């Protein structure tokens, strides 16, 4: 993107720091693939997967927010450490999310989840090394696509204010969560996404990430306990990505 103006203080007409860029080229993914569409969704999803793969190949020397052209310099106070940055932060966030679900989950299930999250940091530690580029909060309306010589491609992406070095799985899970609510259970949207990405993530890793944010992601739906159990019992991508429909 071409940056036209930037203001880091609040002494401006907006009263906020801002960064102004030229309009991102192409069309938003959510415009190209509207919710509920049953045709022409494969190529755009494959293009998004290929884009994430290229982004995630960028490696850094440290985890944390991207604060310079050289990448992260480690933790950046006073900004909070994110689950993307360290396995300990991911474990803490999982336990906090479960605590917010208090009263909606029976004692036995809650104890099982607490035991699972208590060893979560060690279980996912290898996912953080080496630290790789994570866009952070990669939702379906963030990538912009256009036709190029080789076909449809992501030509721009917005909302990268928490771009970081760390665990790349977070981008795939965030995007996948958005897709879960955009299609009914008959569309295997994850297949072209993973084809474009070049590999499938571990279904167990994705399950753990969804469990760790279950209250945040699905807490507004009835039957939160059923969603937790469905996540624990899912053995296929189709089951895992449709747990919110099994209320």
CATH of the domain at 171: 3.90.1200.10
Q: What is the pLDDT of residue 247?
A: 59
User: Is 20 a domain residue?
Assistant: no
Q: Which residues of the chain have pLDDT under 70?
A: 247
Q: What is the pLDDT of residue 101?
A: 85
User: Is 17 a domain residue?
Assistant: no
Structure tokens at 224: 């939160």
| Half-sphere exposure for 55 (CA within 13 Å, toward CB) | 29
Per-residue pLDDT tens over the stretch 196-241: 999 999 999 999 999 999 999 888 777 889 999 999 999 999 999 9
Structure tokens at 66: 């991207």
Q: What is the pLDDT of residue 221?
A: 73
User: Is 157 a domain residue?
Assistant: yes
User: Is 6 a domain residue?
Assistant: no
Q: How far is CA 112 from CA 96, 123, 214, in A?
A: 15, 16, 14
CA pair distance 30, 234, nearest whole angstrom: 27
CA pair distance 186, 38, nearest whole angstrom: 9
CA pair distance 154, 46, nearest whole angstrom: 10
Q: Domain containing 61: what range? A: 27-245
Are 161 and 18 in contact, with CB atoms under 8 Å apart?
no
User: Is 202 a domain residue?
Assistant: yes
User: Is 2 a domain residue?
Assistant: no
CA pair distance 100, 96, nearest whole angstrom: 6
For the chain, the domain total comes to 1
Q: Which residue has the tokens 């530690």?
A: 125
User: Is 219 a domain residue?
Assistant: yes
User: Is 215 a domain residue?
Assistant: yes
């Amino acid at each position: 993107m071409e940056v036209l103006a930037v203001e880091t203080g609040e002494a401006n007409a907006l009263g906020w720091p801002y960064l102004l860029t030229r309009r991102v080229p192409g069309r938003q993914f959510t415009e190209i693939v509207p919710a509920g569409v049953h045709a022409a969704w494969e190529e755009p999803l494959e293009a998004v997967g290929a884009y994430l793969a290229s982004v995630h190949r960028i490696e850094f020397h440290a985890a944390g927010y991207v604060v310079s052209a050289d990448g992260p310099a480690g933790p950046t106070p006073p900004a909070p450490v994110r689950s993307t940055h360290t396995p300990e932060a991911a474990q803490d966030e999982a336990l906090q999310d479960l605590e917010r679900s208090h009263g909606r989950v029976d004692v036995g299930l809650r104890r099982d989840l607490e035991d699972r999250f208590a060893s979560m940091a060690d279980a996912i530690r290898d996912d953080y090394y080496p630290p790789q580029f994570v866009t952070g909060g990669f939702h379906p309306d963030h990538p912009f696509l256009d036709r190029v010589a080789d076909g449809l491609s992501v030509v721009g992406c917005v909302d990268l204010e928490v771009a970081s070095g760390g665990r790349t799985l977070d981008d795939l899970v965030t995007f996948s969560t958005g897709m879960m609510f955009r299609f009914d259970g008959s569309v295997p949207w994850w297949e072209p996404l993973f084809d474009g990405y070049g590999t499938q993530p571990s279904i167990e890793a994705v399950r753990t990430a969804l469990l760790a944010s279950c209250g945040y992601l699905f807490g507004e739906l009835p039957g939160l306990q059923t969603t937790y159990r469905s996540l624990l019992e899912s053995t296929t991508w189709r089951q895992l990505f449709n747990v919110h429909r099994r209320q």
